[in-house]
Amino acid sequence: MATATTAQLTRTRAQLRRQVADRFEDLVMLTATANGSTTTFLDTINVNAGTEHFNGREILFTSGTNDTLVRRITGTTSSTGTLTFAAVTASTATNDTADVYNRRGRGFTVAQYNRAINNAINDAYP
């Protein structure tokens, strides 16, 4: 994992990606409120009737067995807080976390954020 260090400042690539995406309003951080399956993630707090449609966005798992896996969201069921995507390694579980990027298909993908951060670190390195 890439890390940027300047004097007392140290950030992981994941922290930098979240910070940049948040500034672009291209990030939703999720925490599973119930067990899902290998193709579903349930978060009734952030995926609900008052939240935008997530279809087409990328979900990056940030904890649990599926940590670091990325999938494209193919379905959003607001009434149950369910996101659907291609199968991952293991069923999602309560308290698993994930980040959602690529707002309405117009934001950046996880790979694009990672590439830009790595290039910026390389450019800044003397």
Could you tell me whether strands 97-101 and 58-61 are parallel, antiparallel, or unpaired per DSSP bridges?
antiparallel
Low-confidence residues of the chain: pLDDT under 50 = none
Q: How far apart are CA 34 and CA 108, in angstroms?
A: 28
Q: Classify 18 as helix, strand or coil.
A: helix
> Which of 21, 36, 42 is CA-nearest to residue 89?
36
Residue 59 has a pLDDT of: 97
Q: How far apart are CA 123 and CA 6, in angstroms?
A: 14
pTM for the full predicted model: 0.84
Q: Locate all alpha helices (DSSP H) within the chain, ordered by sequence.
A: 13-23, 110-124
Residue 122 has a pLDDT of: 86
Q: Per residue in 95-104, pLDDT tens?
A: 999 999 987 6
In the chain, the N- to C-terminal Cα span, in Å, equals 20
Q: How far apart are CA 39 and CA 103, in angstroms?
A: 20
